[in-house]
A and B are shown apart, each in its own frame.
Chain A
């Protein structure tokens, strides 16, 4: 192992014991001892007040990173044109490219990718690569991995960004393994370390309870999936004209490993599309019984919002699982999240603390949900929620 405790320096304060996420530090004869459970995550190093934890990163062979240039965004196609997350990645990508004094490229795949490339070329990137083929009409892991890995190997970008969407999280790890480079999942922050010309990637872990900064020092490209709705969209630059590069591709349908049999828009699941919701009204155990979700639905209807739920209400069968917000449910980033009768267990907070504005309504003033709320109302949900519904209907003239 490459981590050890300097017995001369250790004061036995036990801060590292508390900080270790894997319970891998124990006290022995008044000193901290690292056990076999250590995963070398390094979480303890920074908490030691006397620098007694020595963490030696292994010497890795230096690779020539100067061969790699440019920032790439892997585009995602939505129902009408490029998905919102792609514009967000282009916005962030432009910043990174400016900091690195390099170019920003977009990659688009699809059966009508040429048209999308033409449109996108007018509004931001310096270059658009597109591959157009009927076999690329719908996202498939195999075809997309092949095309994009090939492009990366040929053109050697230094940074490649994907949306941390279902597609991006399915695709990016495949490409990372294919080209043997690092990938950081679900980033909420990206910046350039100008001295080392490195991408510093910030991401939440442990259900959002800790944040980690991660770098890919000796491998290229540096790849990340980026959470939707975190980065600012690229502002359209009308004067801008990008170079458009068609990527010739061909497929043999019989050699493609997967076939899409069916895509069904599920009404139940579709109506509770929490991930794209602008406003979410969620109910928890404080509603006391399943029927009382009615007051949540009424408020949601008045606001044009989607109904969310905490894990205990789903586990007890009060509401369908698709409504669940939290670590085992959906991670959501609405503009407005109204939590009604939800105490705010860590696993719930992990799924919704990224909302722009959080309103908490709970009768318990000590409920943890108030720690993350922008507006907190200590009160009876059965009084406050219907009152809110009424005022919203009046004011917005809806319902």
Chain B
């Protein structure tokens, strides 16, 4: 009885959806090109990667079904564990730092005049539109042991130069510092836009109640920006788990495996070793990790809201 009811409901829903599509067919037709491209270049590759993760990839023959072998290899792999640890450390340090500094920078910029706001908006957004390849090359020069900027500066304080990218205890830290010092342009722009939509009456009421500027920031601005904070945290976490360009250009994952990250490992497994089945399994595991963390972050941050 219950099942037939469910079928009836599903039938009704389908009918309703069909009716809606017929009614708005012009809008759906306009959406169709995007949908086709999305299907061809996103949906099909994602599904194919999932299927591939259960296969041994062969180039000129049919792939061989491998069951859970690829996943077993991923979980037993020391390199994957190291890459996961490095990527997690990178994410745990850079994401909170970037989101908090973006919030502080946006709050400071928001209180400025229009011209100054525009100037800082552009200045902080500039690194976002600059190629990471260029940024990584400049930073590699800044970390150079013999003539790099960082060793030059610490030399003023009588400190010994550091082999930033050449030692296992400093290489990952150097990559993290680089990411921390690149302004989180998207975050600043989004926070500024959200701040503009906070009602002035809230601040006026707080002023009447005797709140100072810091109290207003903590009690009104930050809570009102929670949706933006959730979005930026998720965005930044997903981006951090996919860190790649700076790794391949600055350290190649070394010294040893000190800066090996998940996407760099997936890239090597796929395009160096041509083990696409294993690389697909690594990608699916990465997808699941990001999914779990994102859902957790969303729930925790939204609960506070």
Question: A and B: real partners?
Answer: no
Q: Which residues of B contact A (CB under 8 A)?
A: none
